[in-house]
Amino acid sequence: MNYHRFDCIIVGAGGAGLMAALEASKLAGTAVVSKLYPTRSHTGAAQGGIAAALANLEDDTWENHAYDTIKGGDFLVDQTAAEVLCREAVECIYDLEHMGLPFDRTPDGRISQRRFGGHTKPNPVYDPAAPAGAEASKPRIPVKRACHSADRTGHMILQTLYQQCIKQGVTFFDEFHMLDLIMVEGECRGIVAIEIATSELHVFHAKSVLLATGGFGRMFKVSSNAFALTGDGPAIAYRHGVPLEDMEFYQFHPTGIYRLGILLSEACRGDGGVMFNGEGERFMEKYAPNLKDLASRDVCSRSIYQEVRAGRGVGGKDYVYLDIRAETINKYKTSPTGEPVDSAWVSKRLPDIIDFARTYLGVDPIHEPMPIQPTAHYAMGGLPTDVHGRVLRDESGAFIPGLYSAGESACVSVHGANRLGTNSLVDLVVFGRRTGREMARFALDRPFQSLPPKPEAFVKSEIESVLARPRVEPWVKIRDEMQRTMMDECGVFRTEETLTKARDVLVDLQKRYRSTGVQDKGNVFNTGLLEVLELGCLLDLAQATVASALARKESRGAHSREDFPARDDSQFFRHTFIFKDGEGPGRIGYKDVDVILRQVDGRMEPKYPLEIRKY
Amino acid sequence: MSMRTLTVRIKRYVPERDRSPRWEEFKVEADPHDRVLDVIQKVKWDQDETIGLRRSCAHGVCGSDAMRINGVNRLACKVLIKSLPSDVLTLEPILGLPVIKDLIVDMKPFFDHYKSVLPYLINDDPPPTTERLQSPEERARFDDTTRCILCACCTAACPPFWGDNKYVGPAAIVNAHRFIFDSRDRGAAERLDILNDTEGVWRCRTVFNCTNACPREIKVTQAIQEVKQALLTGEVDTHSVVNIHQET
C-alpha cells in the first residue's frame, strides 16, 4: 500500500480544482488527484462565455448580474452567495486575463462580451403604459456580459489554469481515481485512490480535502456530459452520511445535437440564432414574448418539449431547429450589434459549433438549420457548502471539518432551481479560488489527525467483491436502463406517477447492480472495473434525485411537476437536503433560502422580492 | 442509410497476457452515423471488456482518444463510420510513445516535452487593475495555436519524433508558439533559446504529417516554420498575421 501526506488534497482537475490548487499551493502543501489528465476535464468543453459585469461594451453592474442569477434560479438561489459570485466575477476575470487567458477583444483592446440567455439590465426607456411589443414595454433588455474566446471559452480557462499550475509547480497525480473518503469522528482526513495504470491503491492523508469532481449528467440518456462525469465526489460523500442539496434540480440545455446530446452553445442564440418548430414558426415568441430565444434554459427546454408534444416537431419527430444563418439573423433583426451580419462574422464567432454540426450532423449551419433537442447538462444540486466551500453536515449549517467542495459537485447555492448560462464557469473560478484559500488556511492551523488502521480496507474488499462476482448480466444493460428511466421519467417534465415508476426501477437496478460482475480481472487500466464503480455512484445519485423530486410538490425552475404546475413559495421556498439511509435514500430535511434584507423607510424589506418569473 | 457490418481489427497488447502485440478481429453492426469511438465501445461492452482505450468528452475537445485509425492519427470520436472507405476498420495505438495496454500509450514523455517549453504566460510587470490591452489583430496573431488540445495526434505522426523521442515534437512547439507570438508575453527569448537546441525546432523536416493529423486543423507546420523564422531573423512580430510558407 502506498501512503502520501499533503496538507491539502484536491480531487478533480477541472476549473474549480485547478483554481483551488493555484490558491492552496501558495500557502500549503497541495496535490491534485484526478482520474483524467487535467486538460481532459470537462471544463474544457464549455463554449460560449463567462459572465462578469465589466461593462466593456455597454452599461452594466454586478447587481444586474446578481438579479439575473437569482431570477434565473427561480428565487431558490442563496442571495449572499449570488452577490459574492457576481461581485468577485469581475476581479476573477481580470485575474484570468493576467494569467494569459486569450479572451477575444473589442476594437479598443478590451475583453469582448456577448449576449446570453437571461442576461439583462433595466430598460432605460421602460414605460409600463407602452403598448405590448413596443421596445418601451419591456422592463428589461438583453445585455452583453459574457466574456468569451470564440466558442471555446472553457477550453481557454482550463488550459490557462493548467499552464499556471505548471508554472507554480503544483503536484499532480494524473489518472488516479478516488474511490473513498477517509472519514473519522465526523471529520475528513484523506482519500483512497486507485492508480489506474496498475490498480494499486494509494492512501492520501490530508488535513483538508476538496471534492471538485464535476457533475453527473451521465445518469441521463441524452447528455452533453463527458463519460467521466459520474458524480464520484458527491456519491462517495453521500455514502458517508453527508447530505446532498437540491438534487431534483437538473438542467436540460435546450440546444443539444439531436440524439447525440453534444452541446451547441447558448452563444448561438446570444449572437442572434433563432429556434423554429416543424412549421417554421419562431415558437419562443409564444413562451417568452420579451426575451424570446434568450429566455432562461429551463424555459426554452420546456417550450421545445411542448412543441414536440403538440406534434410541431420537425417532421412530427422529437426535435426542432436552431438556425444561425446570417440571413435568418438579419431577417429577425436579432443581430447583437444592431447591424446586419454575414456568414464570415458567424463563422468567426462560432467556429467550433459549425465544426460540430458539420462533423456529427452532416449539416452546414452556414446554409442550413441544425436539428436540436434538450440535453441533460448541469446539476444545480450537489454537496451543500457555504461561501468558503465548507461542506455542511446537515440543514442546521454546521460544517464537516476538513471537507470542501466547489464547482458543479457543490451546491453553494448560486444556481438555485436553474443555472443562468455562463454561471458554471463563474462559479468554478470564484468559489474554486475561495475554497482553495479556505482549505489551506484551515490546514495551516492544525496538525495532521491520525488515520484509522487500514483505511483502504473497505475499497479493497469492494473491488475484490466486484471482481469475484459472476457476470450474471452485462452491467451496461443496467446503465442503459438507468439512463432511459431518468430521461423518460425524471427529465424535463415529471409527475408523481413517472417519479414513482423511476423510484421502483432504480431499486431493482441497484439489486441487479450488486449481483453482477465484470469480465476484465486484470490490473492494468481495468477501465471496465472503474466504469462499474462509476455506475454505482450514478445509481446512488439517481435515487437521491428521484426521491428529492418526489418530495417537492411544486414546479420551480428546472423541476417541472405537471401535477403541481405552480411555484409554491409558502411550502417550498427552501432547499432540499437528502440523506442516505442504508441501501437507499432516507430522511429529507429542508433549509431556508438565504435572503438579503435591506432597510427601506425604516422597515426591513427583501432586496430581491419574490416575483413571478417571466421572460 | 442502413447498418453496416464492420470488421474491427485491433492491435492488442495486454501486458499481463501478451508477450508482444497481436491482432484481434471483431465483427460489429454499426450505424453509419456512429463514431469510431461508439464502435469500439460497442465491442468493449458487448464482446470483450478487456479492450483498453481512453475517452471522455466524445466530441473532439478533450483529446483523450487519439489513435491510428486505418493508418492515420485521428480522434476516435471525430471519425464517423460513414466516412470509412471500406468495412474494415483497423485500430492501433499512436506511434512513438510506449504502449501500456491496447490503444493506451504512456503520455508522460509527451507532457514532459510540453512542459519543457515554458507553456505559460511570462510577464513580471505589475498588471493593471483591469485587463491588459491587446488589439484584435494582436489577439489574432496567435489564435490558431491556442486551439491545441494536447491529444498528441501531431507529435505521434512526426517521423523525426519516431526516430528520436528526445525531440520536443510539434505539439510542444505549437504551445511555445502560442506564447511567443502573444503581445502580452515577455518570455519569447527564453523559449526560443530552448527551441534552438539540437532537440528543438531544427529536427523538423517539414513533412506536414502533423498538420494533416491535427483534429483541430491547426496549421502546425506553419507554426513551426514561424518559430524557425523568428530564430533566423531574431525578430518576433506579435502584431500581424504573416503567412510565411503558405500551406496548401
**Interface predicted TM-score (ipTM):** 0.96
Beta carbons within 10 angstroms of residue A338's beta carbon? 6
Residues in chain B: 248
Rounded Cα distance between A378 and A577, Å, is: 18
Question: Looking at residue B248, what is its pLDDT?
Answer: 39
Burial of A368 (0-12, 13-18, 19+ CB in 10 A): middle
From the centroid of its chain, how far is CA A517?
31
CA distance A178 to chain B (A): 17
Percent of chain A at pLDDT above 90?
98
Angstroms from A107 CA to nearest CA on chain B: 6
Looking at the predicted structure, is the pLDDT value of residue A494 above 70? yes
Residues sharing a CB contact under 8 Å with residue A471, sequence separation 6 or more, in sequence order: A516, A517, A518, A519
Average pLDDT, chain B: 95
Chain B residues close to A156, C-beta within 8 Å = 146
Chain A neighbors of B127, CB-CB under 8 A: 94, 98
Disruptive mutation site among A359, A471, A518, A526 for chain B (greatest number of B CBs within 10 Å): A359
Residue B53 to residues A193, B50, B88, B100, B103: CA-CA distances in angstroms? 20, 10, 19, 10, 5
Please check whether residue A16 is in contact with residue A431, taking contact to mean a CB–CB distance below 8 angstroms: yes
**Cβ atoms of residues A519 and A197 within 8 Å:** no
Q: Which tens digit of pLDDT belongs to each residue from A308-326?
A: 999 999 999 999 999 999 9
CA geometry: angle at A283 spanning A279 and A287, to 5°? Answer: 155
Chain B residues whose beta carbon lies within 8 Å of the beta carbon of residue A100: 120-121, 179, 182, 184-185
**Per-residue confidence (pLDDT) for residue A240, from 0 to 100:** 98
Interface check B95 vs A, CB under 8 A: no
**Residue B247 confidence (pLDDT):** 42
pLDDT of A431 strictly over 70? yes
**pLDDT tens for each residue of A528-574:** 999 999 999 999 999 999 999 999 999 999 999 999 999 999 999 99
Taking an 8 Å cut-off on Cβ atoms, the answer to whether A41 and B14 are in contact is no
- pLDDT band of residue A42 (cuts 50, 70, 90) is very high
Chain-chain contact of B136 with A520 (C-beta, under 8 angstroms): no
Residue A79 pLDDT more than 50? yes
Q: Per-residue pLDDT for B102 more than 70?
A: yes
- Residue A526 Cα, gap to closest chain B Cα (Å): 7
Strand partners, B69: B72, B91
The pair phi, psi for residue B51, each rounded to 5°, is -65, 130
Q: What does the pLDDT read at residue A175?
A: 98
- The DSSP code sequence of A243-309 is -EE-TT-EEEEEEEETTT--B--THHHHTT-EEE-TTS--THHHH-TTTGGGS-HHHHHHHHHHHHH
User: A397-402 — which CB contacts under 8 Å span 24+ positions?
Assistant: A397/A591, A400/A186, A400/A187, A400/A188, A400/A242, A401/A186, A401/A187, A401/A188, A401/A442, A402/A187, A402/A188, A402/A189, A402/A206, A402/A207, A402/A208, A402/A209, A402/A442
Residue A265 has pLDDT above 70, yes or no: yes
- 3-class DSSP state of A208: strand
User: Which three three-digit cell numbers place residue A425?
Assistant: 464557469
Q: How far is CA A21 from CA A186, A229, A375, B66, B86, in A?
A: 25, 20, 31, 28, 48
A260: which chain B residues are within 8 Å (Cβ-Cβ)?
A: 59
Rounded Cα–Cα distance for residues A65 and A53 (Å): 7
What per-residue confidence (pLDDT) applies to A372?
97
User: For position A128, what pLDDT does the model report?
Assistant: 93
Residue B145, chain A, CB below 8 Å: the answer is no
Would you say A308 and A283 are in contact if contact means Cβ atoms under 8 Å apart?
no
Q: Please answer yes or no on whether B121 and A527 come within 8 Å at the CB atom.
A: no
What percentage of chain A exceeds 70 in pLDDT? 100
Q: Which of B9, B160, B114, B245 is nearest to A163 (CA)?
A: B114
Catalytic residues of A: 297
Beta carbons of A40 and B139 less than 8 Å apart: no
Do A360 and B80 make contact, defined as CB atoms within 8 angstroms?
Answer: yes
Q: What are phi and psi of A382, to 5 degrees?
A: 155, -155
Crossing angle of the two packed helices A423-444 and A79-98, in degrees rounded to 10: 90
In the predicted structure, residue B245 carries a pLDDT above the cut 50: no
Helix (H) or strand (E) holding A192: strand A187-195
Instruction: For chain B, positions 5-24, list CB contacts with chain A under 8 A.
Output: 14-17
Pull the grid cell for residue B232: 533566423
Grid cell digits, residue B17? 497476457
- Across the range A186-194, mean pLDDT stands at 98
CA distance B151 to A125: 51
Query: Taking the model in full, what pTM does it have?
Result: 0.97
Q: Are the Cβ atoms of A359 and B60 closer than 8 angstroms?
A: yes
Cβ contacts below 8 Å, chain A against chain B, sum to 145
CB pair distance less than 8 Å for A524 and B134: no
Q: Which residues of B touch A14 (CB under 8 A)?
A: none
What CA–CA distance (Å, rounded) separates A40 from B57? 8
> Is B140 at the interface with chain A, CB within 8 A?
no
Yes or no, beta carbons of B46 and A164 under 8 Å apart: no
B 189-248: CB under 8 A from A: none
Under an 8 A CB cutoff, do A518 and B49 touch? yes
Maximum alpha-carbon separation in chain B: 62
Sort out which chain A residues have CB atoms less than 8 A from B53's CB and list them.
Answer: 527
Q: What is the pLDDT of residues A215-226, one digit of tens each?
A: 999 999 999 999
Amino acid at B157: A
Contacts of A110 in chain B (CB under 8 A): 130-131, 133
Minimal-distance CA residue of chain A relative to B103:
A525
The average pLDDT across A162-172 equals 98
Local confidence band at B241 (pLDDT 50, 70, 90 cut-offs) = low
Question: Could you please report the per-residue DSSP string of A535-562?
Answer: HHHHHHHHHHHHHHHHH--S-BTTBEET
* Residue A575, min C-alpha distance to chain B (Å): 31
Residue B244 has pLDDT above 50, yes or no: no
Q: How far is A181 from chain B (nearest CA, A)?
A: 24
Does position B239 have pLDDT exceeding 90, yes or no? no
- Do the chains contact at A94 and B101, CB–CB below 8 Å? no
Enumerate residues 6+ apart whose C-beta is below 8 A from A362: none
Selecting from A39, A97, A352 the residue whose C-beta is nearest the C-beta of B131 gives A97
In this prediction, residue A1 carries a pLDDT of 80
- Residue A601 burial (CB < 10 Å; 0-12/13-18/19+)? exposed
Contact (Cβ atoms closer than 8 angstroms) between residue A521 and residue A470: no
Judged against a pLDDT cut of 60, whether residue A366 lies above it is answered with yes
Q: A359 vs B15: CB contact, 8 Å cut-off? A: no
Measured between CA atoms, the residue of chain B closest to residue A518 is B49
Least CB–CB distance from B149: residue in A39, A262, A525: A39
What span, in angstroms and rounded, lies between the C-alpha atoms of B227 and B209? 18
- Which chain B residues are within 8 Å of A480, Cβ to Cβ? none
Q: What size, in residues, is chain A? A: 615
**A501-522 pLDDT tens trace:** 999 999 999 999 999 999 999 9
Task: Chain A: give the shortest CA distance to residue B206, in Å.
Answer: 27
Q: Which of A18, A22, A35, A39 to mutate to test the interface with B (most CBs of B within 10 A)?
A: A39
User: Phi, psi at residue A142, to the nearest 5°?
Assistant: -60, 150
Closest Cα in chain A to B104: A525
Residue B189 and residue B130 in contact, taking contact as beta carbons nearer than 8 Å: no
Do A525 and B104 make contact, defined as CB atoms within 8 angstroms? yes
Are residues A524 and B101, on separate chains, in Cβ contact within 8 Å? yes
